[in-house]
Structure 1
Amino acid sequence: MNGDWLLRGRDGRLTVYLPSGDAVLCRAERGPAGPWEDVPRTVGGSQKLHPGAAVGQGRDGYAHLAAWRPTVPGESGLVHSTHFRPGLAALDWVPIGHPDQKGDRTGPPAVAVDGAGRGYVFVRNGNGGVSLRNQKVKGGWSSWQNLEGQDVQGELAAVTGESGLVELYAAVPGGILHWRQEGDGKRPVRTEGVDVPVRPGTLRALATSAEHTTLFFTDSSGDLCAWRPGEKPVTLLTSAGPGPVSAVRCEIEGHDCTVLVQRSASARVAFAAYPTEQEPAGAWWTESGPRLPADAVVSVALDEHGEVVAASVSPSAGTVLLTRRKDEPGLALEAWREI
């Protein structure tokens, strides 16, 4: 899943979104703090999907998902679904087409939701740039828009700022591209990027203040870096492992902190925390939980009390493990448990 797949709904209940063969599954808490549903449910009906779905969430708590589906032999199209609340069925997948009108998959999608609750689906197009289709102010979907760019690699990182405006980051050889909305409902425009040796597939963005979103990425030397457009990238610490981090802001002992979670090279879950937007303060990894299968991924969110909760999922093993922050100083965690 591209994006954070552990989400808190508007009623405080958590939901996990799980890839499973040719479908996306969801499983939710029956009430805040559990217990969890016994059996996952299929998102969007019986339509078969390609692997690599994306998820994003709006301020209203609604989850928006996008995925490729096979259409005719050798071709695919994108579909979109909305999941309004844990425990309810998600809407059926709605076709939203192809950025090049037709053809096979061009790249993994990314999803963001603006301040008015409208979904934005970004995807690399056949020319190596980025295309967008979004829900319109008065309902329905816009036509596909070519946001340009070239040589885009790996997964895109879509994010919504505290202003409710959508931003997008993309890795290219030797740098990162950035797009940002200049107003509600407006087409995102390309801003100044940054030249940096970035590893594709490691981008994850987070709204970190009223003025900024922060992009986390791994550079070619293996360092985890943070970048805010208009500033220089800052090395935060050595990456714990491959792939992107999952990130969330929370209050720890009265301080606004950013918590990062990543599957470590030793196959466990690594946590780090530091004062939000104060990367020079430093951070360090602390590993937690059991060793995970090679395909396990991790995600972090806040529960109904605003406390950190993290999950790991292994598609091959079909297991979901969960931990929560304990009522103790610092970032102390409960024992991991299978749900």
Structure 2
Amino acid sequence: MPLDISIVGAAGFVGTNLALAALEAGHNVTLIDVSDRLGRLRLSGLLERAPHQFVNLAEPGARIVSAADVVIHLAALPQVDFSVYEPARVMTNNTAVMAAVLDSARALEVPVLFASSIEVYGGNDGALFAEASPMLPLSPYAASKIGCEEYLKSFRQSFGIEATTVRLTNLYGPWQAPDRIIPRITTQALSGIKSEVVTGRLRDFLAVEDATRALLGLVERGLWGDTFNLSVGVPTGLEEVADTIAELTASGPVARVDCPAKDGRGPSLVASPEHLEQQLGWQARVELSDGLGSTVSWYAENNFWWQPFQPQFSSDRNGPQFLLDHAFPFWVA
């Protein structure tokens, strides 16, 4: 049965892919975001296919006005690195938007699916994190997500709102900004720019198409009142990812750099998807090697979107200049 889905953060990487997948599945979608500042909605054709509400939900009194069967809340200033440079802005924005979404959902009497992050676990020496694992925020971004999760829990307890939290792992795929590892190395390779990768870190990479399938599955099934890791559960070294991209693009070796002493990240951050697999019957389908291949192909075929960001992916990571939220801030648009 088709649902009316409001996607908050629709102009983001996950939001754009989710909106496209939801329309393909026959659902009705309303796009909600501050603006289309990186051009994803326009260039993907979504602005022509779905209604939109451009509103800054972090502003006092801002609310979602469109009725829906469910709200999927993806909006955030999402970069760990950006939160290290702008901790107060990230905390203020992310918690304020959470408050607006929950107030709106309560007034509209609709459930909420909230996208948190496995960054809430911090990191360890290699064991898989489960949903009941202790939280250890190593960055202001992670702390903001924990605050949002707790605020959501309070609305479930105080007002009976139906809501579920999904902790996203490291996603990758089309429309991801080139300040993340996979699109950054890919766009550098396609542009003839030498790349580097941090050594000694293990992460879990999930194709965005697998993630959108899970998100839609949760709202279609109405699995409310729970918390899920949305992950693969397979630890992968960042060096392995970088080397695969180098092979796919024939761009030569990627330089290695040591982990910074403190940059808001832990050595290993890999979460178990077992709970989601048991409750939803979901499993990741895209092998990392295949997903990296299709992702590199997408960036090679869609350079019209990412080439305007060359000043950012050409910059080193010793300051905020490589971050798109720093270069294209929505709060001064």
Q: Give TM-score, length-normalised by structure 1.
A: 0.32
Relative to total residues, which structure has the larger helix share, 1 or 2? Answer: 2
Which structure's relative contact order is higher, taking Cα pairs within 8 Å and 6+ residues apart? 2
Q: Give TM-score, length-normalised by structure 2.
A: 0.32
